[in-house]
Homo-oligomer: A and B are copies of this chain.
Amino acid sequence: MQFGRVVGSVVSTQKEASLEGLKFLILEILSAKNEPTGSHVVAIDAVGAGVEETVLFATGSSARQTKATDKRPADAVIMAIIDSWDLGGEIVFRKGE
Give me the interface of A with B, judged by CB distance under 8 Å: 1-3, 7-16, 18-19, 24, 26, 28, 31-32, 40-43, 46-48, 56, 58-67, 69, 71-77, 79-88, 92
| Pairwise interchain contact A9-B85, C-beta atoms closer than 8 A | yes
Query: How many whole Å from A31's CB to the nearest CB in chain B?
Result: 7
B16 touches A42 (CB 8 A): no
Which of B16, B59, B75, B83 is close to A66, meaning CB atoms less than 8 Å apart? B16
Contact of B87 with A1 in the complex, beta carbons under 8 Å: no
Establish whether residues A79 and B16, one from each chain, have CB atoms under 8 Å apart when the complex forms.
yes
Residue in B8, B32, B75 whose CB lies within 8 Å of A32: B8
Q: In the bound complex, do residue A83 and residue B11 qualify as a contact, i.e. CB atoms below 8 Å apart?
A: yes
Whether the pair A16, B47 counts as a contact (CB closer than 8 A) is yes
